[in-house]
Amino acid sequence: MEIGFVGLGKMGMNMVTRLRRGNGHRVVACDRVPELIAKAEETGAVGAASLEELVATLARPRIVWVMVPSGLPTEDTIRTLGELLEPDDVIVDGGNTQFHDDVRRAATLKDQRIHYVDAGTSGGIWGLEVGYCLMVGGDHDVVNRIAPILTTLAPEDGWARVGGHGAGHYVKMVHNGIEYSMMQSYAEGFELMSRSDYKLDLFNIADLWMHGSVVRSWLLELGASTLKEDPTLKGLQGYVHDSGEGRWMLMDALDKDVPVPTLSAALFTRFRSRQDEPFSEKMLAALRRAFGGHSVRRK
């Protein structure tokens, strides 16, 4: 298939590369940074210096995947694409968008007879090799149209249409809320062991738990790798960002009277991490860096 791809950051570039490697999809890649466009061209993608050039290069009906930072950058990109694209074209938002915005955008674009799909994307910097779990929202026939792209990006059985417009990002929001809670639980356990009189080898324990333990997971595996390199995490500050989904999930839970105490504690701990440096926050920072390539603050 042919697809336009806007946004060549750490995930976007890997997704373009996977599309080119997988089934040789024709990709027209666009970014504000010329060096990133040149890097995409090395994978066999066709470079486009602007959204106008990207749209002009694609054959109709077009598919354009947007992978830029959430908030205003995504909003501006989709609004501009809506002005450039034509009826029956498709815009896919694969970033971390709030699901309410998906519903609004889909309705606006529908008036222009342009289709909209929201694709919650999980996999971080490891997605290039293992694939991206894709939670997709939109009309059945439109999702089916882009299925070859989704199949290439995802591992086997790694994508699904989960509902109508906004459902993909809603499910991804909950996914990330659970992720927050899992990482917080690991961080607290490892902090307690770090203060034990037994002088525990945290890497060996994390590695041990990967063999048959009920708490084994990919996150724990990444944590073990990090502790092997830096057993006391002395190279990190315990400063942990949040990208918004945890806040959105908490607000949605408040609206629905659903108790989410674990998420609440995890989110508030991230807030606290920006004020002091306990071990648990260092562990969170290390895990985010390990699974998603997110930036960390160093001493």
Catalytic residue positions?
172, 179
Q: Please name the residue that has the structure tokens 């990006």.
A: 153
At 40, the amino acid letter reads A
Measured CA to CA, the distance from residue 220 to residue 277 in angstroms comes to 21
Contacts of 57 (CB under 8 A, 6+ apart): 4, 28, 46, 48
Q: How many residues does the chain have?
A: 299
Helices (H), the chain: 10-22, 34-42, 51-57, 72-84, 99-111, 127-130, 140-145, 147-153, 167-194, 202-209, 218-229, 245-256, 261-273, 279-292
Identify the burial level of 92 via C-beta atoms within 10 angstroms of its C-beta, where 0-12 means exposed, 13-18 middle and 19 or more buried.
Answer: buried
Specify which residues 46 forms β-bridges with.
28
Identify the burial level of 83 via C-beta atoms within 10 angstroms of its C-beta, where 0-12 means exposed, 13-18 middle and 19 or more buried.
Answer: exposed
Q: Is 113 helix (H, G, I), strand (E, B) or coil?
A: coil
Q: Please name the residue that has the structure tokens 């509902």.
A: 163
Q: CB of 74 within 8 A of CB of 102?
A: no
CA nearest neighbour of 91 among 106, 76, 104:
106
